[in-house]
Structure 1
C-alpha cells in the first residue's frame, strides 16, 4: 500500500466541479493500493457549497486541516456578490465597476499566483512536522489555486519525497488570466512561478491534450493526461421532459454567451409556432446578466427557465431528463484546453450533446470519439439550425435517442485506476 498526501483547496462542502476530481479519486484509491491522506483548509471561503458531497467522503480516510487567512472574506465586506464571482473565475471584461477594477488589480498584482498564497508558509510548517512522524510515499498538489503547488514544491525540496503536480486547469493560459489587470512585473512573476513548478515536479498531470502540449513547451518533466470523469450512479432514473428541453448545467459567463444559438432558436420559433410552444431552455447554475439580456433580445425569455444553483444530485437528474444537453465554452483559442467536468456527466446521461466552442477544442475530440452529439465552432449558423431542426424532428416522431460509445473509460473508477498506476510507477 502506497501512502499519498493530497494537498487540495476544494473539498466538501465546496460545490461546483473543482471539488469532484480528488473526492472521486480518494473514494477509489484503496481499491488500487493507494492510501490517501487529504490536506485541506480548516476555514475556507468557498464561492458555492453543496452539502450533498459531504456524504460521499469515505469515512476511513485521514483528513488534515489547518487554518487559512482568506482575503476574499475581507473583500466580501465591500461586495459579497463581486467577491464570489471573481473567486469563481466569473470575470466580465465589459461593464466593470470601479470597485471591480480595483479588486481585480489587487487580486492580480498583490496575490501571486492567487489569493491563497498566504496559506503556503503555515502549510509547509504544519505538513513538515506531520511528515516527520507520518511519512508518505508521494505528495500530490491540485490546482487551481496554483499556490498549493508551491506548498508541495517546498515540501519536496526539504524532504526529497516525490511530487506530482495535478493541474485541473491551465495556469497562465487560463481564459480569465488576461482579465486580472496584471502589470508587466506580475505577469513575469506568474510565468516564472509556472515554469519553476513545472520543472521541479517529478510528474505533471493535466486534464486535456492541449494543456499537455502547452506545458511541453516549458518543461521536459513527464506529463500525463488524466481527464475528469463521471461517477456511475444507480440512483438517477431518466424521466424525459415532455417539452423540447435544451439544458445547460453550470455557470454561464458573459463571454460564454451563445448568441448564434439564441438567434437560430429565435428563427426556428418564428418559422414554426409548434417549436416555439415546445421549446424549453433550462439554465441551472449562475447565469450572467449579459446572457439573460441576449435571451430577452431574441424573444426567448418566455421559453427560458433560469433555475439557479442546484445540488449535484439535482443537476444529475436534470441531465438525465433533458432532451438535449448544451455545452458551451468561450470562443477563444486559450479555451481549447478546457474540458468542462460536466461533459463527462453528460456522457453518462446518454442524452444528445449540443456543444459550442473554439475551433480545435479538445471537447470536440471526445464528442466525436464517443458519438455523443455534435460540436460547432463559430459562424456555422446554417449547419447549427439544420442540426437543431433534425433533433426536433426526432423528438416529435421517434423520440430522441443517442447511441454513444467508449464512455466507460471516463468513469471515475477507471480514471482512479489510471491515476493509481501512475503513482505506483512514480514511487
Structure 2
C-alpha cells in the first residue's frame, strides 16, 4: 500500500466542521489501497475543541506534529474574545466593529497573507522536504482553509516534483469574510496572485461545492473535481424523537444568518393554531447572535425558544435525530451560493425533513432535490414556507416519522473516500 501525505491544520482535538472531512478520509482511505500520513501543528489555536474526536483517529495512523509560530497566541493577550471570533471567520459588520477589532482585522488581512498561519510555511517545507525523500512519499494533499497550507504544497512541488492535490473546503478570495479584512489594493492583488498560482500549479484541484468548482475552472486548465463533505454511516445509534414538535438548528447563527421571514411564519402559525403553539420547540444549538434572538422574540417565539451551548459532535448527531424538523440557514449573498455546510449531510443521515433558507441558486438545492430530503426557500418567501412547515407538522400529529426514503449513500464518507482514492491513484503504476 502506497503512502500519501495529508497536510492539514485542523485535526483532533479541533472541533467544528473543518476537522471532520480529513479525519473521515483518513479512516476510510486504507480500504481503497491508500495509506494516509497526517502532518499537523503541535501547538495550534483552535477556536473550538472536541476531545471526543480524538477517539476517532484510527489506530496506527502516523500523525506528524511540528511547532507552529501562531500569531493568534499573541493576539489573545490583547483580547481572547476577539481572537476567537476572528480566527473563526466570524466578523461583524463595519459599523458594529470596535476599534480593537478593526485594528486586528487590518493586521490579519495585510500583514499575514493569505492568513495567520503563513509563518508555518517555510519551516514546514524545510522539514517535509527531508521527510518525503526519506520515506519515499510522492503524493501530497493540502487542505484549506487556512489556504497558506497550499503554499506548502506549492513549494514542495517545486522542490521535489511531487504529485500535489489541493483540497478547498471553502473558496479563497471569494469566501464570505474576505472583503471584511480591510485589504489594501496591494494585499488584495497578492491574494489573487497566490490563489491563481496554486490553481495553475496543483496537479488536481478538489472542491466541496459545485459553484466553487465552476469558479476555479474559469481560472485554471487543471482538472477540478467536486468531492463534497458527507456523513459517516457507522456508530449511529437509534434515537427516539422528541415528544414536542422540535425544529432544530445545529451550529452558529450569526447576524447574517437571520431569516426574519422564517421567524415570522412560525409566529403566525403559533397565533393561528393553538396546538402548534403548545407543541412547538425552536431549538438552537451553538453560538446565536443577539440580533437573531431579538428577531425570534419580536415574532412572539420567546417562550418556544431553547438555546443550547456548543455540544460535541456525537451530541449533535443525537439532537439531529431527536428533532422533528431540521433547519439549514445560510447568508443571503451571491458569494455564499457555493457554501454547502457539512451538517447538511449529517442531516440527511438523521432522516429528518429539512427546511433550508439561503441565497438564490444555492448549491444545497441540488443536494436536497436529489435526495428528496427537503427544500430551499429564500429570505422573502412566506406562504410557501408556511405550507412546507405545516406539512411536516401534520405528519408529526399523525405519528409519521418523516424518514427519508430516497438513496443518500452517494454522500457516505466511505463512498466519498473511494472517490478521493481514485484521484490520489491517478498516475500510480
* TM exceeding 0.5: yes
Name the SS of the counterpart of 1:18 in structure 2.
helix
Mapped to 1, the partners of 2:131 and 2:137 lie a distance apart of 10
Contact 1:4 1:35 in 2 (8 A): yes
Over residues 231-290 of structure 1, what are the superposed CA-to-partner deviations in whole Å (9 max), with x where a residue is unaligned? Answer: 013442121011111100111121011111111111111222221221111111111222
Instruction: Tell me which residue corresponds to 1:287.
Output: 288
**Post-superposition offset of 1:418:** 0.6
Instruction: Tell me which residue corresponds to 1:24.
Output: 24
Instruction: Tell me which residue corresponds to 1:86.
Output: 86
Mapped to 1, the partners of 2:427 and 2:101 lie a distance apart of 44
User: CA separation of 1:412/1:43 partners in 2, compared to 1, >3 Å: closer, same or farther?
Assistant: same
Mapped to 1, the partners of 2:368 and 2:79 lie a distance apart of 40
For 1:69-148, list aligned pairs within 5 A.
69-93=69-93, 94-148=95-149
- The Cα RMSD (Å) is 1.1
For 1:6-405, list aligned pairs within 5 A.
6-93=6-93, 94-405=95-406
Mapped to 1, the partners of 2:23 and 2:207 lie a distance apart of 17
Contact 1:245 1:322 in 2 (8 A): yes
Mapped to 2, the partners of 1:272 and 1:385 lie a distance apart of 12
Deviates more, 1:266-275 or 1:356-365: 266-275
**Post-superposition offset of 1:97:** 1.1
Deviates more, 1:161-170 or 1:80-89: 80-89
Name the SS of the counterpart of 1:60 in structure 2.
coil
Q: What is the TM-score with the length of structure 2 in the denominator?
A: 0.97
- Structure 2 gaps, min length 5: none
**Post-superposition offset of 1:51:** 0.7
Moved over 6 A (4+): none
Contact 1:257 1:291 in 2 (8 A): yes
Name the SS of the counterpart of 1:105 in structure 2.
helix
Mapped to 1, the partners of 2:44 and 2:174 lie a distance apart of 26
Matching of residue 408 in structure 1 with residue 409 in structure 2:
yes
Contact 1:324 1:352 in 2 (8 A): yes
**Post-superposition offset of 1:229:** 0.3
**Post-superposition offset of 1:299:** 2.2
Mapped to 2, the partners of 1:83 and 1:8 lie a distance apart of 21
User: CA separation of 1:65/1:365 partners in 2, compared to 1, >3 Å: closer, same or farther?
Assistant: same
Mapped to 1, the partners of 2:130 and 2:187 lie a distance apart of 32
Contact 1:206 1:225 in 2 (8 A): yes
Contact 1:372 1:403 in 2 (8 A): yes
**Post-superposition offset of 1:411:** 0.4
Over residues 157-204 of structure 1, what are the superposed CA-to-partner deviations in whole Å (9 max), with x where a residue is unaligned? Answer: 000111000000010111111111111111111111100000010110
Instruction: Tell me which residue corresponds to 1:3.
Output: 3
Q: What is the TM-score with the length of structure 1 in the denominator?
A: 0.98
**Post-superposition offset of 1:140:** 0.3
Contact 1:253 1:287 in 2 (8 A): yes
Name the SS of the counterpart of 2:90 in structure 1.
coil
- Structure 1 gaps, min length 5: none
Mapped to 2, the partners of 1:69 and 1:293 lie a distance apart of 40
Mapped to 1, the partners of 2:426 and 2:305 lie a distance apart of 50
Deviates more, 1:344-353 or 1:266-275: 266-275
